[in-house]
Amino acid sequence: MKNRSLILLAFAAIFSSCTKPAGYGELCVKIDYSVNGKALVTDSLCYTNAAENTFLITEIQWFLSRIELQDERGDWFRLNHKDVKLPMAHTTDWVFYVDSNLPESQTLEAAPLPVGRYKALRFTFGLNEADNQSGLFSNPPEANMFWPEPLGGGYHYMKLNGKYLDEDGQLVPLNVHLGIGQNEDHSQFYQNYFTVEMPIDFTLTENAKNQLDLTMIVDNWFRNPNLYDFNEWGSAIMQNQAAQQLLKENGNDVFMCKQSIENQDSIAMNNEEENGNPLEMFNNTMQKAAPKPHFWSWDSVKQRLGLFKENCKNRS
Amino acid sequence: MKRIWGILPLLLLCLLSCHPEHEKPYQPKPYELPKPSYFPSLTNIPADNPMTEEGVALGRKLFYDPRLAGRDTKAGITCCASCHHQANSFEFGAPTGTHHAMLPLVNLAWNTTGLGWNGGVNTLEDMVLAAVTSPVEIDADTLQVVRFLQATNDYPPLFEKAFGSRDITFFNIERAIAQFVRSLVSSDSKFDRYLRGEAQLTQDELQGYLLFVTEDGADCFHCHGGGGNALMTTHLFYNNGLDANFNDPEDRSAITGNPNDRGAYKAPTLRNVAVSAPYMHDGRFQTLDEVIDFYSDSVKNSATISPLMHHVMQGGVRLTAQEKSQLKAFLLTLTDETFLNNPNYAAP
């Protein structure tokens, strides 16, 4: 019995230390952004969307969670934060915050994964209903993403802030804030997160610094299948489920992934189709979550605040 | 014989570790920062200035002591408390006569983005130095302050307890006062008690909170927090549309060098906002009503206005008289009487 405990302790120590066990490789996911085919330059009024709005982007702050790689046998392996110690049980272990203002947040360092070849990547854009609980994060910058309890609670999936030239040629604020939506009379809440899944051809090796590059093609939020005209939808869409729904559907082809060119000889792009159109090459499949209505009332707000308090208690 | 050789090293160790009473090793007691579970778990406390009971107590004494000016006078600004009044959330509570209003000293252990309206001061320790030497504040000479305090009977033993030496340094004066300021925690407003399930808000206060946290309402929360960020500030910097043209050389752009930060200032915490007038970086508003009127009807567009000020093209968030009243009712729930009257924060 004593021996068994010692073995378990040793096993935990191996996993919780900085060194990775044999047969495992380190992996990071590097996030970047492209707009109109070029790398994002913030606060530069040089972009045009499909609706021909001229716009600039000041910042993009967002969550992605439950990132998983699928090996050749079909098993999925979840990426947790590199510094996560066993036992891995807390939601924040698999939720990643990315902020264009914070360079360090652009590289997601994951705990070691088994070496081998992986054929698919999937992740949740934002947080799913189970993960998206108020009080999950107490520290900034994540805490600054909170989504108010009366609007459904939890966190913004994304804040994309910038400005655009309106029909009168004036530069006006642009806020694309995604999260839990509501219908027009505030009687229902809608979960607007979605799952992005894409094929990849990626080999994780034991001794290399393995890297995947995940790009958000920002202009695709406003293109396909729904034309998203800033003059029509403007800003302040947190309480506008129609706008949220359009963007959720447009999330279909916003992301692309490739194995880092810096560390590997060959680039593996996802879903290489014969037509070679880069926008269509990445045929992400989106598993839309069925909207789950909640009755909006002060009782439901109080209930969510109760949950929030409960989370706080658990955290302390 | 073998046994003696075994015991001898232990005896030697005992002898070496025995100190006479007056040579007790310096062992200050770590200070436990009181905080509710919904506050950030991470604090911003410099590694070279951990909080201790002795350090906080010394800092409190210095904070309130006119001898901090290093001169034999009680006239004018002589210590931190000359301007930082507990009843006003440790700010002045009135126009200061300088071009920038004061910011309250509250929950700064969780501040991560620099101090002052433009975030240009990195630490509270640096802030102490700036305040003591500024010609418009205490206007003292640090060497003189050290000599003055060193010559007192009461301070050298307190510095010894806090920092292990009776020799006073200005570095340790900075550290002590910074420790005291970090100990100033506000977490018992009515809104806190509501979050903890200990109090209920009135219908007007709840409606005010709904306005506070909705984009279709007053949309305060993106910069000033709420239930998910009970510090009631992001500690970040925004151009909130006060002006269309900018001539203040000390706005956020002075620190970042980024022209997009023209007219941007730190979003102050709204804790105790009712007792911390005047408002805005230049103290232009004297009452909460004026502030609410501004955000409702007088926001000005400019090239650098924060994208979060999305109501700017309508001149503001356009609240009705009733909504203004409800928003104010919620803001009043952020007053923390426990903090404002906490005897541990008062003059010793």
B156/B288 same-domain check: no
d(CA B90, CA B100): 16
The pTM for the full model equals: 0.85
d(Cα B215, Cα A40) in Å, to the nearest integer? Answer: 27
Does residue B45 lie within any of the structural domains?
no
Q: Are residues B315 and B255 in the same domain?
A: yes
Pair B103, B225 in one domain: no
Q: Tell me, yes or no, whether B347 lies in a domain.
A: no
Please list the residues that pair with A109 across neighbouring strands. A28
B31 located within any domain: no
B89 in a structural domain? yes
* Same-domain pairing of B157 and B201: no
Which of A144, A174, A180, A307 should one mutate to test binding to chain B, selecting the residue with the greatest count of B CBs within 10 A? Answer: A144
Q: Is residue B226 part of a domain?
A: yes
Q: DSSP label at A269?
A: B
Last residue of a domain, one of B166, B185, B204: B185
List CB contacts of B307: < 8 A, sequence separation 6 or more: A58, A161, A162, A163, A173, A174, A175, A235
Tell me if residue A112 falls in helix, strand or coil: strand
Q: Give the number of domains in chain B.
A: 2
For residue B34, the tally of other CB atoms under 10 A from its CB is 11
pLDDT of chain A, 316 residues: tens digit per residue: 444 544 444 444 444 444 567 789 999 999 999 999 999 999 999 999 999 999 999 999 999 999 999 999 999 999 999 987 656 568 889 999 999 999 999 999 999 999 999 999 999 999 999 999 999 999 999 999 999 999 999 999 999 999 999 999 999 999 999 999 987 666 789 999 999 999 999 999 998 889 999 999 999 999 999 999 999 998 899 999 999 999 999 998 999 998 775 554 333 333 333 333 322 332 332 333 333 333 334 444 445 445 444 554 444 3
CA A229 → CA A241, A280, B310, distances in Å? 15, 22, 16
Q: How far apart are CA B324 and CA B204, in angstroms?
A: 10
- Whether residue A141 is preceded by a cis peptide bond, meaning omega within 30 degrees of 0, is yes
Tell whether B110 and B127 lie within a shared domain. yes
Q: Looking at B131, B165, B185, which one is the last position of a domain? A: B185
Q: What angle do CA B179, B142, B346 make, to 5 degrees?
A: 35
Q: Are residues B325 and B194 in the same domain?
A: yes
Q: Are B96 and B193 in contact (CB under 8 A)?
A: no
Cβ-nearest to B41 among A139, A305, A309? A139
**Please, which residues 118-137 of chain B have a Cβ atom closer than 8 Å to chain A?**
none
CATH of the domain at B275: 1.10.760.10
- Of B164, B185, B206, the domain-final residue: B185
Q: How far is B232 from chain A (nearest CA, A)?
A: 10
Contacts A151 to B, Cβ<8 Å: 213-214
Helix (H) or strand (E) holding B161: helix B155-163
Q: What is the mean pLDDT of residues B272-301?
A: 97
Look at residues B224, B228, B214 and name the one whose alpha carbon lies nearest to residue B291. Answer: B224
Answer yes or no: do A173 and B308 touch at CB < 8 A.
yes
Q: Angle at which helices B124-133 and B142-150 pack, to 10 degrees?
A: 100
Nearest to B59 by CA among B92, B22, B93, B31: B31
Domain span holding position B73? 53-185
Among candidates A138, A298, A306 on the partner chain, residue whose Cβ is nearest the Cβ of B41:
A138
**Pair (B177, B195) in one structural domain:** no
Identify whether B265 is part of a domain: yes
> Is residue B297 one of the residues assigned to a domain?
yes
| Residue-level pLDDT at B3 | 55
